[in-house]
């Protein structure tokens, strides 16, 4: 299941400081797009490790790594 992640960055000003907000869109193989769903990622990783002996903390670690990678990619696009 290879998917491309398209990251769009928009900037908004709140309370005299600028905040950066990430809008993440997953582009599926058939070309359709859907908003990134962190819950869907967590469920998929949990299902993938079921019976492997890995604990739930591993799911959180994977999600943290995905977010870090997306943030890094956003910084390089600015």
At 18-64, the pLDDT tens digits run 344 567 788 899 999 998 888 888 888 888 888 888 887 888 888 88
CB 58 within 8 A of CB 48: no
Task: Check the CA dihedral 63-29-5-39 and report its sign.
Answer: negative
Range of the domain at 32: 4-77
The total domain count for the chain is: 1
pTM: 0.56
Q: What angle do CA 48, 49, 54 make, to 5 degrees?
A: 165
């Amino acid at each position: 299941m290879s998917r491309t992640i398209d990251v769009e960055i928009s900037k908004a000003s709140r309370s005299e400081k600028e905040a950066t907000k990430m809008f993440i869109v997953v582009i599926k193989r058939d070309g359709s797009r859907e908003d990134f769903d962190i819950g869907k990622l967590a469920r998929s990783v949990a299902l993938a490790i079921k019976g492997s002996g890995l604990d739930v903390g591993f799911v959180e670690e994977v999600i943290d790594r995905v977010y870090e990678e997306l943030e890094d990619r956003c910084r390089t696009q600015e």
